[in-house]
Amino acid sequence: MALLLRRTDESDLPIEVIGVRPDRLRGMPPAEIGRFPIRHGNRTVPLAEVFQIKGDPSDERIDFEGNLRNVHRIGAQMSAGRIVVDGCTGWHLAAQMSGGTIEVSGDAGDWVGAEMTNGHVSICGSVGDLVGASYPGSRRGMTNGTILVGGSAGAEIGRSMRRGTIAIGGACGDHAGLGMIAGTILVFGSCGRYPGAEMRRGTIGLFGGGPVPLLPTFRRAGRFRPQFLALIERELRRTGFAGVDWPSGKLDLYHGDLLSLGKGEIWTREGGGLA
């Protein structure tokens, strides 16, 4: 039986549920779970003050319900288990997570999966900026794992990411894959300015069609259908990433960013061209 946490009040103050994760709460008696400290504004309060608690997390599953837009850090640093969110969450969802699964039926804020090292995150709605990104002053963003977003994403997704996959069903903002070290970003809607700026290696697929606003430090490398595409399509379909229009023909390949190593790849639909 899963542990159900239902938010009952409607206050706009930020709530941070640091440590409320299946691997941490498993085996904890219900009274202790109710006393688990979380941040509410500038105070530390027991979990039971903000959430109505039902069930137990013995099967390593936590369900969140109610108004969660200002509930931040859901699933942050989680290492195992499953979190299911019915609604929209705040910032830092799945940040620094190292294992397990998180599913969100609505939207999520900035920093989804920032610096995550493994695990699977899937969001039906849209997300904010800096998906899978590195925190300020940090050298690496996500180093493994998968982030699937049904809707659109904001700016600087995959900043300094080292490995792992980010797939965005809708559009994405500016500077996707900024300073990317390696890994894969796929965007099925339109794309903001300067994707792949300072990328070293890694793959960015911009499959929204239409012109792609690339920097002058990217160079056209050819037009063909890469073999990896069928593999990644099959794998993402298997994990439930559906409803997007996968490109069927050849793709255009650009190499860059020549300022930093230049081994990165940007793939666009055939004849997409530069903006």
Partner 1 sequence: MDPSRTVDDRRIWPDSVCTACGCLCDDIVVKVKGDRILEAQGACSIGEGHFLGNRRGDGPEAWIHGEPANFDEAVERAAILLAGASCPLVIGLQECTTEGHRAAVELAESIGGGLEVPGVSATILSLQSVGEVTCTLGEIQNRADFVLIWRADPVRTHPRLFSRHVLEPRSDFLPGGRNDRFLAVVDIRETTTLKEADLAIPMDEGAEVEALWLLRALVKGIAIEAEQIAGVALKDWQALVERFRAARYGAILYDGRSNGLSVRGIHSLVRELNERTRFVVMPLHSGGNGVGARNVLTWRTGLPGAVRFVEGQGPLSSDAGLPSATAADAVLVVSGNPMVMDNEPTTEVRRKIPRVLLTGNQEPHPQAAEVVIRTAAFGIETSGTVYRMDGVPLPLRAVVASRFPTVEAVLRSIEHRVRERRA
Q: For partner 1, which is the closer residue by CB, 103 or 265? A: 265
Give the integer Cα–Cα distance in Å for 152 and 124. Answer: 10
Q: Is 215 in the site for partner 1 (CB under 8 A)?
A: yes
Q: Is 232 in the site for partner 1 (CB under 8 A)?
A: no
Contact 208, 228 (CB under 8 A): no
Q: Is 211 in the site for partner 1 (CB under 8 A)?
A: no
Using DSSP's 3-state secondary structure scheme, residue 25 falls into: helix
Q: Is 43 in the site for partner 1 (CB under 8 A)?
A: yes
Using DSSP's 3-state secondary structure scheme, residue 232 falls into: helix
Give the integer Cα–Cα distance in Å for 67 and 40. Answer: 14
Q: Is 246 in the site for partner 1 (CB under 8 A)?
A: no
Side chain identity at residue 195, one-letter code: P
Return the DSSP state at 92: -
Q: Is 178 in the site for partner 1 (CB under 8 A)?
A: yes
Q: Is 111 in the site for partner 1 (CB under 8 A)?
A: yes
Q: For partner 1, which is the closer residue by CB, 167 or 180? A: 180
Q: For partner 1, which is the closer residue by CB, 44 or 52? A: 44
Q: Which of 144, 143, 133, 147 is nearest to 104 (CA)?
A: 147
* 49: CB partners within 8 A, 6+ apart: 40
Q: Is 8 in the site for partner 1 (CB under 8 A)?
A: no
Which range in 40-48, 49-57, 80-88, 119-127 contacts partner 1 by CB under 8 A? 40-48
Exactly one of 6, 26, 39, 140 binds partner 1 (CB under 8 A); that residue is: 39
Buried b (16+ CB within 10 A) or exposed e, 52-86: ebebbbeebbbbbbbebebbbbbbbbbebbbbbbe
Q: For partner 1, which is the closer residue by CB, 216 or 249? A: 216
- Residue ranges that bind partner 1, judged by CB under 8 A: 12-14, 16, 39-44, 70, 72, 90-91, 109-111, 114, 130, 135-137, 174-175, 178-179, 193-194, 197-198, 215-217, 219, 257-259
